[in-house]
Structure formats: C-alpha cells, structure tokens
A and B are shown apart, each in its own frame.
Chain A
Amino acid sequence: EAGVTQFPSHSVIEKGQTVTLRCDPISGHDNLYWYRRVMGKEIKFLLHFVKESKQDESGMPNNRFLAERTGGTYSTLKVQPAELEDSGVYFCASSPTLLGEQFFGPGTRLTVL
C-alpha cells in the first residue's frame, strides 16, 4: 500500500513569491493533517481536514496560508506571498479514523530567500 506522498520534496523561492505544496494521503483516509517544522523547533500543527471539510485550522499562522482539499482526496497548501519565516519542512499526515494512527509523508522542505 502506498504511503502518504508529498510534492515537491524541495522548493526554493524568493520572498514575495507564491508556492503550492501538495499532499496525497493514503487511499481511503478521511483525515488529513498539515504540520510544519521550522529549523530547530518542534513540529507544529497547522490544520486538520475530515474529508473536504476543515475540522481544525487553529494552527494556521496567518491569512497568507490557504489549504484546500479537493473532493476529500489530495490537499494543497498555498503560501502567498511567502515570507522568510515560512521556511521549514511541511509535513502532511493522514489517518483512517479520528482516533487512528497518523501516517506522515516525507515532507516538503521550503526555503524562502
């Protein structure tokens, strides 16, 4: 069974540009989570989808971040415009049920110059 996949694996952009990260969860997993790890810090929760609905977006840093989950399948996280402090590794995780184990993707390393 394929795991959680994320694209791209790395992205380097200039401050002020736009970047879109994509996450494909494990097939059949209704719950999808986005997390971010800024270098040297803890992995922090951004938001949680149940199917196509946002269940909890309390961790989204500001309105420059927009997450969507089309048809309850893959999800995108857009950062517009990107700032230097947005640099970090963005992880996506999925789980089959609310209480189920969260399976993490390999992450997207975002560098904003």
Chain B
Amino acid sequence: QQQVKQSPQSLIVQKGGISIINCAYENTAFDYFPWYQQFPGKGPALLIAIRPDVSEKKEGRFTISFNKSAKQFSLHIMDSQPGDSATYFCAAKTQGGSEKLVFGKGTKLTVNP
C-alpha cells in the first residue's frame, strides 16, 4: 500500500516554463513534507521542505504548496532550466516518532533548452 502517491511519472518542460509535480498522502500523522532532487549517479538531496502549519513555502524558483484538508502538496519550479533536469521525489514523515521517510515513486523531469 503506497502511502505517498506522486504524479506525473515523467514531465517534459521547455526552458523558462513552470514544472509542477503533485503528491497526495493518506496518513494524517505526517507532519513534515520534504522534496528531494536526484541527479544521475548521485543520491537524493534535500531541495525544500514544509510543515503543515503553512500553506506555501518558497525558496528561489522552488515553491511548495500544501493543502492540509485535501492531503496534497505540490512542487512548482518556476523559470525551469535545463540544469533542473533530474528526478524529484516527494516524501513525508512523522517527526517525533519513527524518523523514516516515506517516499513517492519519483518524477523524472526533463527541461528542454
């Protein structure tokens, strides 16, 4: 049973466009929602994270939107660049309990020049 569902599986965007990746979760005990970026041959690296007490968090061109009632969160990449081409994973965990991260299946983003 998949606890965090991520879509789309792959995404192709033109340079300068907006990339949007969506995730949905079931476990209402989750209280920390990070996004990870992974380049080929590297491990996932934390990109940006949000807690459910805020609806949006922005860091540079990257924004997380969070909808607690719908149990959904999304990553928006503004002005997408070819260097953003990577696999993106959403994740969730319950802080203060088990510290294990529960991941989505990943989205392979390709930004065409």
Contacts and interface: CB of A to CB of B under 8 A. Distances in A.
Interface string A26-42: 00000101010000111
Interface in A82-99: 91, 93, 95, 98-99
Contacts, number: 60
A45 B101 contact: yes
Nearest to A46: B100
Interface string A94-106: 0100110111111
Given A42-B2, A42-B4, A59 B100 contact: yes
A91 B45 CA distance: 12
A56 B94 CA distance: 14
A98 B98 CA distance: 9
A43 interface: yes
B57 interface: no
B4 to A, nearest CB: 7
Interface residues of A, number: 27
Contact of A99 (B4, B44, B98, B99): B99
Interface residues of B, number: 22
Interface string B86-113: 0001000001101111111110000000
A104 to B, nearest CB: 3
A33 B105 contact: no
A45 to B, nearest CB: 4
A106 B41 contact: yes
Q: Which of A44, A56, A98, A104 has the most CB of B within 10 A?
A: A104
B100 to A, nearest CB: 4
Contacts of B18: none
A56 B102 CA distance: 14
A63 interface: no
A42 B104 contact: yes
A105 B43 contact: yes
A56 B99 CA distance: 9
B5 to A, nearest CB: 9
Interface of B: 2, 4, 6, 36, 41-46, 89, 95-96, 98-106
